[in-house]
Structure 1
Amino acid sequence: MTRWDAVRVRQGIVESCTSAEQAGDQAVRRGRLREARRHYERMLADAIRLAEQFPDTATRRNLAVSFTKYGDFWMDADHLDQAAQAYEESLEIVTRLHDERPGDPRLLRDLRRGEFKLGEAAAAAGAAETAAQRYASALSYAERLTGTEPHHRGDRRERGVIQERLGLLAQDRGEPAEAAEWYARALAVRRDLAAETPDDPEARRDLGVQHERLGDLALLRRELEAARTHYDEALTIRRTLLGDDPRDLPSQRALSLLCERLGDVALLAEGPEGARQWYDDSFAILDAALGPKHPETRTLRKKLRSHPATPG
């Protein structure tokens, strides 16, 4: 095979792989999961063939990406064993590449991503210890990356995400002090990112979520002033985000939930009179966003009617 023949063969396989991936994505959007699986498996077969015929760093790294994509498909379909198997295949490829090129930050990011994906699969499967080990490994790569490239926003954000996951695991294990420590680390990361780019909605949303996590933990521990402070911060951020897009229903739901949580804090701290307005606000937000007949609105109405802070 001449050099130009090899170029044409390689390009043909690349185009076939890309086409299969795009078809799979389109099938997923249409809810055609069996069709999507066929396309993704063709994508993976093309990526394997490409790496076998042209085993350079780029094609092998692309093969790892294809395995990750395949794992994501199974993860979304709630087939956790298949997802974990695909993620393992991806991580094995990247580990070999990193051994060959230990100074390549792209491969460090791939390693971080691979360990994190396996942590997510383990957490979804209820394997908390395995999830913690995977997240800890992902965090070690994240810290190496932020140590060498301290101004890389994406690396810093991922470090905060992993720290939050470790906090969630600790909270689920009934270790609130450890959870609070992880959440505080994640909050510091997200506060810095939001301060650097105050107009970035993702950075603000991340910061709001972290305040919510800390508020939930403080409420669980009956640290009412701390809970109120964190919920107030999260509420301010949520209201600002709604100003960006008033049709953002997930944010409307989150805003309603925050008002309800502030009502819970007020109920414990001040009694029913202090809580009632927060509960009314919570219901009003959901009612305006979803309508009075929506199941979520009905559920909240029933809950508030039975609540001691709400008149019968």
Structure 2
Amino acid sequence: MKRPLVGSLATALFGAAALAGIAAAPAAAATSGTATAATSNAVTAGGTAAGTTAPNKAPAAAPSFEGTVALSNCSGSVVKMPESQPGDPALVLSNGHCLEEGMPEPGKVITDQPSNRSFTVLKADGSNAGTVRATKIAYATMTDTDVSLYEVGSTYEQIESKFGVKALEVEAAHPTQGNAITVVSGYWKETYGCAIDGFAHQLKEDGWTMKDSIRYTADCRTKGGTSGSPVVDDASGKVVGVNNTRNENGEECTLNNPCEVDENGNTTVHEGIGYGQQTYIITPCVGAGSKIDLSREGCTLPKP
């Protein structure tokens, strides 16, 4: 029996395409309700909420759009690891299901695959700073997580010098339950503020399984196009996750409707709740020169 994972996943990927007319979306995604998802706390680049009033209270350290990027169908961000150097090739973080070639099958891991995909880099106020282009997909998978890392043809210092934009740093430690977070969408130029409600032992959706996923509180009403957005810890300003899915219709483990499975095999559905994948697990796998090395000590990312 298929166990869906691309619910909010596909919604974020295909929903954006359907909304923007970028590509024809599968019926399941096009009718998932993404286009009408509530965005009561979605704050646009102009500083006002999308279709409603602005939140009463700003986050502890309101993350800006600096370093985020817009893909053709998703969101992303220029990210650096704790040990990254200014002269290293920059990395762009997004979801595995946001790849230009489509979603990797369960068990598939992509490394060092040539790519010339372009990314629109945003300034702090959400305006376009310019474009960077990938040289390769350094790493991507939808097994155990949902992540893609593109290596681009510019270094961190070149991007900062040319565009005045700094990369976001990926936190090397496991995120903390209860911490305030913001999902920053480069595609929509909107932010979604909430908190970490907890962690899902397993998150299952349409054949894919993710581990130790971040569960948001109900405030983060993400929608199609927010897939790949960095999940930023408000206090530290560092990336602790990458947004990837949401239970749209209350269904169990179906496309656009991920379900949680605990250590005892019990299944739970949280309708309307969004999820992200933790990114601290990436940091041990990136060596000098932004090279992905899955054999490094502490690296637990799935291998080909």
TM range (shorter): under 0.3
The TM-score, its normalising length taken from structure 2, stands at 0.23
- Bigger RCO (CA 8 Å, 6+ sep): 2
Specify which structure has the higher proportion of helix. Answer: 1
The TM-score, its normalising length taken from structure 1, stands at 0.23
Bigger radius of gyration: 1
